[in-house]
Amino acid sequence: MRILVTGGTGVVGRHVVLTALARGHEVVAASRGGGSPDPRATGRRVDLGTGDGLAAALDGVDTVIDCAHVQTTNAAKAVRWFTEATTRLTNAAKAAGVRHLVVLSIVGIDRIPLGYYKGKLAQEKVALEGPVPATVVRATQFHEFAGQMLDRMRLGPVHLMPAMRVQPIAAAEVATALVDLAEGPATGRADDIGGPSEEYLPDLARAVLKKRGGRGLLIPLPIPGAAGRAGRAGAGLVPDPSGQRGPSFADWLAH
């Protein structure tokens, strides 16, 4: 099967490319830079925001796994980008004869009122109502999330960290789930997936900081408003054991 992975050089996308290759699939990695995480995969320069390069990347593709994202926390910008990009992708995929679209989404986007999450909700709607049979799977935050937040929320020697409950999952586990779904028929909304245990994000960030040999003061920052209340209530977690996949954050960080 020929698989196109959008966001193919990202945190999850690169693992999707490697997993699909390991299973014997022909893989096209699409990204704005045009690179590929593995020389066995074809790298294609694609901009979903404009459609540039999309038709060529879809040539001969059977299934698309969409891991693309946009860097914004603004609700209007997120909704506009995901709506336009996913509409563009589904229409081009239909024209190319693609049989299945698999979309990576986020657990709790219908319960936690964040701007980016509103964009992901719009993406799901476009995909599931679009012209190509689709499957959407929501995953919790990745193990890499704590390190990403350390980098983004640093003020000199001080690290601000959202005081939130998380259930982190390894990006490689998410990739396995996406390829599993891509190899089967479209199912609409698939079951949510998450890591094996609930954690406290500031604790994970401290562990990452120690692993890096870094220093500084880490301050938990409560998230205000409805989003904070939803997060504290566990809206971003997967309580069903059948949806929980290892390894643990500690094992992931150790290796």
Cβ distance 102 to 93 under 8 Å? no
Instruction: Give the CATH number, domain containing residue 244.
Output: 3.40.50.720
Average pLDDT, the chain: 95
- DSSP-assigned letter for residue 243: G
SS3 label, residue 41: coil
> Once rounded to an integer, what is the mean pLDDT over residues 24-34?
97
Confidence of residue 106 (pLDDT cuts 50, 70, 90): very high
Q: How confident is the model at residue 154, as a pLDDT? A: 86
Residue 219: name the closest of 143, 152, 154, 147 by CA.
Answer: 154
Measured distance CA(147)–CA(145) in Å, rounded: 5
Q: Render pLDDT for 66-97 as a digit per residue (tens, 0 to 9).
A: 999 999 999 999 999 999 999 999 999 999 99
pTM: 0.94
Q: Render pLDDT for 119-138 as a digit per residue (tens, 0 to 9).
A: 999 999 999 999 999 999 99
Cβ neighbours, 10 Å, residue 234: 14
Question: What is the 3 state secondary structure string of 58-74?
Answer: CCCCCEEEECCCCCCCC
**Domain limits at 220?**
2-254
> Once rounded to an integer, what is the mean pLDDT over residues 43-53?
97
Give the count of domains, the chain: 1
Q: How confident is the model at residue 21, as a pLDDT? A: 98
Measured distance CA(41)–CA(25) in Å, rounded: 9
Q: How confident is the model at residue 156, as a pLDDT? A: 84
Q: How confident is the model at residue 51, as a pLDDT? A: 96
Q: Render pLDDT for 149-202 as a digit per residue (tens, 0 to 9).
A: 999 888 888 999 999 999 999 999 999 999 999 999 999 999 999 999 999 999
**Which percentage of the chain shows pLDDT scores above 90?**
90
Distance of CA 192 to the CA centre of its chain: 13
Q: How confident is the model at residue 231, as a pLDDT? A: 87
> Once rounded to an integer, what is the mean pLDDT over residues 18-34?
97
> Once rounded to an integer, what is the mean pLDDT over residues 15-42?
97
